[in-house]
């Protein structure tokens, strides 16, 4: 997303860690021991590339259908223009309803919980019944001055976390009753916080940073939520314009990096044991956003936001 955030922090950026480039389906066993098998993505050999979206940002599933949030015809993620919508697809990637829920502003991250679908929409968290598409909840975050609520992650049956990328906050949302929220107090520079992933077994929040002052210095961060005070610390030293993030099998972090707004970015993977980062999909993708990956099926659903496409392909990590 072509939005820049600013920080008052100073100091030199950490040195970039080793990044193993993958240029073809063949990998160098010396450099890429963390991935036993990578299936190269190309439009002609991915399982499916779905077109016709309007700046697709996020993918979520209820186990039967897949839902794609669309920011709108123009990639303007903070505009209240009511041209945003959520699409519904079947398990094969066929679009069943392009505008399944419409008249939103710029919906981004989504979460599905208790037969409800929630989405972060500019300065509001909106909740809809999946069965009826009826809006049953709306929380307004405008009093904090945000116009860029971004990603959602589920903590438990009544709690979500939502990132506000422009103001560097993560909010804790209580879904009971009419809903309520508070700032999740995390000490550290949270400027540009974008993607979220809650690691329940370790009560840990993983975060992807989008960068500061137009520079690709966003990093993977973590915060142990059972520690007082809760502090943010960087995981690895990789930097970029990071977006989606997901923990895989408790020892690898899959994340997307926009890298270059004109040339494109990549889906990356960080191995927490070897502390190496490499491309999970070698090809350049314009606007790789908030993806969905299934450990069970090895299927990846990745929005190419700047291309108005959804890439569906197999990504085998073992």
What pLDDT digit, counting tens, does each position of 13-26 carry? Answer: 333 333 333 332 23
Which residue shows structure tokens 């990846």?
300
Looking at the 3D structure of the chain, how many domains does it have?
1
Domain that holds residue 301: 19-314
Cα(30)–Cα(28) distance, integer angstroms: 5
Decide if 141 is inside a domain: yes
N residues, the chain: 318
Decide if 10 is inside a domain: no
pLDDT, tens digit, 9 for 90 and up, residues 55-84:
999 999 999 999 999 999 999 999 999 999
Decide if 11 is inside a domain: no
Decide if 51 is inside a domain: yes
* pTM score: 0.87
Decide if 8 is inside a domain: no
Q: What is the CATH number of the domain that holds 274?
A: 2.120.10.30
Decide if 271 is inside a domain: yes
pLDDT, tens digit, 9 for 90 and up, residues 153-167:
999 999 999 999 999
Decide if 104 is inside a domain: yes
């Amino acid at each position: 997303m072509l939005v820049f955030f600013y920080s008052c922090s100073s100091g030199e950026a950490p040195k970039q860690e080793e990044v193993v480039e993958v240029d073809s389906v063949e990998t160098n066993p010396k450099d890429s021991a963390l991935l036993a098998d990578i299936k190269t993505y190309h439009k002609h050999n991915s399982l499916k590339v779905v077109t016709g979206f309007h700046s697709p940002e996020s993918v979520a599933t209820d186990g039967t259908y897949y839902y794609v949030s669309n920011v709108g015809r123009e990639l303007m993620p903070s505009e209240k223009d009511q041209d945003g919508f959520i699409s519904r697809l079947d398990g094969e990637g066929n679009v069943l309803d392009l505008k399944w829920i419409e008249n939103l502003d710029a919906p981004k991250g989504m979460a599905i919980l208790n037969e409800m679908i929630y989405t972060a929409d500019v300065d509001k968290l909106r909740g809809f019944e999946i069965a009826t598409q009826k809006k049953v909840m709306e929380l307004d975050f405008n009093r904090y001055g945000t116009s860029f609520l971004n990603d959602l992650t589920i903590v438990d049956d009544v709690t979500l976390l939502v990132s506000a990328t422009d103001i560097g906050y993560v909010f804790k949302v209580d879904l009971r009753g009419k809903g309520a929220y508070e700032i999740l107090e995390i000490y550290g520079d949270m400027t540009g916080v974008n993607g979220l992933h809650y690691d329940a077994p370790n009560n840990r929040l993983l975060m992807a940073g989008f960068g500061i002052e137009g520079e690709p210095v966003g990093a993977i961060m973590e915060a142990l939520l059972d520690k007082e005070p809760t502090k943010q610390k960087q995981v690895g030293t990789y930097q970029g314009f990071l977006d989606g993030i997901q923990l895989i099998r408790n020892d690898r972090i899959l994340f997307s990096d926009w890298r270059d707004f004109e040339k494109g970015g990549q889906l990356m993977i960080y191995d927490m044991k070897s502390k190496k980062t490499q491309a999970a999909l070698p090809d350049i993708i314009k606007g790789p956003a908030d993806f969905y990956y299934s450990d069970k099926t090895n299927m990846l659903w990745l929005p190419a936001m700047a291309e108005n496409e959804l890439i569906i392909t197999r990504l085998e990590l073992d």
